[in-house]
């Protein structure tokens, strides 16, 4: 299934994508794509629904129908840094021996095609196409061999980063990663049964038509199973929590000289099977 949240920001409704690419309304069955809906039992109940009995929502998604983040009421938005060896190299950092975990504040979450508003005075806002993991079954100290059973599905994430505040202003990375709008999620949550191998997904990102990132989840240092197992040692992962898993090379910081986002530019990014995002950059 491809689950979506559609409508105006802050008042999104639950839906799913049918085989014709139209959104079908799920409001008669659940109030949001969140929490218990994402548990194995919740997803099993959705699979029993006759899709074509559901009301068709007016408009085409990502055209004249806005999509919000594909997960609602996210409790934790975790992120993994330097999870591609070649990205670590372009950042001038060592490949980590264990996952580097940081937090993106949930107020950073945005719809997949919402405008990106630059922070006031920012001159170093950057892009990162990433695979997102959505938790389905509560996970606490889970073994790696069992970790995939705790994943409801996967989604596309743009881990937008303000490099000055991330790397040069002291403290943790969170300050440069957590601005409002710095975490577009979606367009849809693709349930895990439709992604048999999350370790082999081509991914890309371009700015104003120029392809900067072109990679694959096959080159991740730590895959989804290891990431979920590792994070569950330190915090109980709840249904609807999101973990974004790192980016391949080609970020703006790694260009020579560095290239950062400016007012009026347009980012497009995608992962095979998980859809695409488009964000126009506007001055803060």
pLDDT in tens, 99-126: 999 999 999 999 999 999 999 999 999 9
The token duo for 145 is: 């061999």
DSSP the chain: -EEEEESSTT--EEEEE-TTS-EEE-TTT-S-SSGGGGSHHHHHHHHTS-GGGSPBPSS-BTTTB-B--SS-S-S-EEEEES-BHHHHHHTT-PPPSS-EEEE--GGGEE-TT--EEPPTT-S-EE--EEEEEEE-S-BSS--HHHHGGGEEEEEEEE--EEHIIIIISSS-THHHH-STT-EEB-S-EEEGGG-S-TTS-EEEEEETTEEEEEEEGGGBSS-HHHHHHHHTTTS-B-TT-EEE----S--GGGSSS-----TT-EEEEEETTTEEEEEEEE--
Taking the domains of the chain in order of start, what are their residue ranges?
71-282
What is the structure's pLDDT at 83? 95
What is the structure's pLDDT at 252? 97
Q: How far is the C-alpha of 259 from the C-alpha of 70, rounded, in Å?
A: 29
What is the structure's pLDDT at 90? 79
Q: What is the mean pLDDT of the chain?
A: 96
Q: How confident is the model at residue 242 (pLDDT cuts 50, 70, 90)?
A: very high
pLDDT in tens, 60-84: 999 999 999 999 999 999 999 999 9
What is the structure's pLDDT at 85? 82
- 172 has pLDDT over 90: no
What is the structure's pLDDT at 169? 87
What is the structure's pLDDT at 95? 84
pTM: 0.96
- 88 has pLDDT over 80: no
What is the structure's pLDDT at 192? 98
- 91 has pLDDT over 80: no
Q: How confident is the model at residue 265 (pLDDT cuts 50, 70, 90)?
A: very high
The token duo for 95 is: 């490949």
Mean pLDDT, range 134-145, rounded to an integer: 98
Provide CATH code, domain 71-282. Answer: 3.90.850.10
pLDDT in tens, 189-202: 999 999 999 999 99
């Amino acid at each position: 299934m491809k689950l979506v949240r559609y409508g105006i920001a802050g008042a999104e409704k639950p839906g799913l994508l049918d085989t014709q690419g139209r959104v079908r309304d799920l409001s008669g069955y659940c109030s949001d794509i969140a929490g218990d809906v994402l548990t194995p039992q919740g997803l099993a109940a959705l699979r029993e629904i006759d899709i074509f009995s559901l009301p068709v929502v007016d408009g085409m998604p990502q055209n004249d129908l806005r999509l919000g983040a594909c997960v609602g009421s996210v409790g934790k938005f975790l992120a993994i840094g330097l999870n591609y060896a070649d990205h670590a190299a372009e950042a001038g950092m060592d490949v980590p021996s264990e996952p580097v975990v940081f937090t993106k504040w949930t107020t950073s979450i945005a719809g997949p095609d919402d405008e990106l508003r630059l922070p006031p005075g920012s001159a170093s806002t950057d892009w990162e196409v990433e695979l997102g993991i959505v938790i389905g079954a509560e996970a606490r100290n889970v073994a790696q061999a069992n970790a995939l059973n705790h994943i409801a599905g996967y989604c596309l994430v743009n881990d937008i980063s303000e490099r000055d505040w991330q790397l040069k202003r002291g403290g943790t990375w969170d300050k440069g990663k957590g601005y409002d709008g710095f975490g577009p999620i979606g367009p849809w949550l693709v349930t895990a049964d439709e992604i048999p191998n999350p370790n082999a997904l081509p991914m890309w990102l371009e700015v104003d038509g120029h392809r900067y990132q072109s990679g694959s989840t096959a080159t991740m240092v730590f895959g989804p199973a290891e990431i979920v197992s590792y994070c569950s040692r330190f915090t109980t992962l709840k249904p609807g929590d999101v973990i974004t898993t790192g980016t391949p090379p080609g970020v703006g910081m790694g260009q020579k000289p560095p290239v950062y986002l400016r007012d009026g530019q347009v980012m497009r990014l995608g992962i095979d099977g998980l859809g695409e995002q488009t964000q126009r950059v506007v001055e803060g």
